Amino acid sequence: MKDQRIIVIGGTSGIGLESARRFAQLGASVTVTGRDAAKGAALDVPGVRFAQLDAARRAQCDAFFADHGPFDHLVVCASGAAGAGAFRDLALDDLQAGFDGKFWPQLNALQASLSGIAAGGSATLVGAISARAQQPGTAGLAAINGALEAMLPILASELRPLRVNMVAPGVIDTPWWHRVPDAQRSRLFEEMGAAVPAGRVGTAADVADVIVMLAGNTFITGSVIDVDGGWKLRR
């Protein structure tokens, strides 16, 4: 990663921030983006700079990548959290907001990046195990993440020699979950951690390890790597 130029879309918190930190520790030059300028200004990670960008806005993505210039590896972590809930009561406006918060920002960022990304570089999208988890209450999340996951191998084929991969996290303790009240979140983490063979929920570092590996390994493309503590073996 020495002197590699990395862009992490949605890199001011959680998985994206931890990935940025790891890339920088390996000698890369890293730009992280997010919508909240205050969050960006508060970052103090050597080798990591911040650029404000709402990936839901295509014109902003185009301007950002034109301004940034050539780079080697893209990581797209951006997402909101809308679209969860039992289907019978799921407000379809909320599911639409889920697509607006994740599906479109990820595609905006990837497509806009293509003019600047180096031949021989990589793009890593962050999906979710909800695409295949078959968990009641997550039909909407399955739709959003499943749509991205269905596109992944086709993108890797079309965009070659650019490598395009995905990590599919399970339950990861990041600020994404801060919208759930503390006591409820602790209970959920305990239950979900106990159900999987790993015996715990994941950390941002668990996922960042794989993101950094995917950027560096030039023999992996079109792959979705689950980082979920063994979700399909849960009981």
Ligand X SMILES: NC(=O)c1ccc[n+]([C@@H]2O[C@H](COP(=O)([O-])OP(=O)(O)OC[C@H]3O[C@@H](n4cnc5c(N)ncnc54)[C@H](OP(=O)(O)O)[C@@H]3O)[C@@H](O)[C@H]2O)c1
DSSP line for 181-205: -HHHHHHHHHHHHHHSTTSS-EEHH
Closest to ligand X by CB, 3 or 182: 182
Closest to ligand X by CB, 8 or 117: 8
Residue 140 engages ligand X in binding (rule: CB under 6 A): no
Residue 10 engages ligand X in binding (rule: CB under 6 A): yes
Closest to ligand X by CB, 119 or 183: 183
Residue 151 engages ligand X in binding (rule: CB under 6 A): no
Look up residue 103 and give its DSSP letter: I
Residue 209 engages ligand X in binding (rule: CB under 6 A): no
**Residue from 159, 100, 152 nearest 125 by CA:** 152
Each residue 65-84 as x (binds ligand X by CB under 6 A) or -, in order, gives ------------xxxx----
Q: Least separation, in Å, of the C-beta of 44 and ligand X?
A: 15
Return d(Cα 40, Cα 45) in angstroms, integer.
11
Q: Least separation, in Å, of the C-beta of 171 and ligand X?
A: 5
Stretch that binds ligand X, among 83-91, 111-119, 174-182, 190-198 (CB under 6 A): 174-182
Residue 13 engages ligand X in binding (rule: CB under 6 A): yes
CB under 8 Å to 19, separation ≥6 — which residues? Answer: 8, 11, 75, 77, 204, 207, 208, 211, 212
Choose, by CB under 6 A, the member of 105, 121, 140, 229 that binds ligand X.
Answer: 105
Please list, residue by residue across 139-165, b when 16 or more beta carbons sit within 10 angstroms of its beta carbon and e when fewer do: bbbbbbbbbbbebbbebbeeeeebbbb
Closest to ligand X by CB, 59 or 160: 59
Peptide bond into 161 cis (omega under 30): yes
Choose, by CB under 6 A, the member of 7, 55, 82, 112 that binds ligand X.
Answer: 55
Written as six digits, the tokens of 14 are: 């959680």
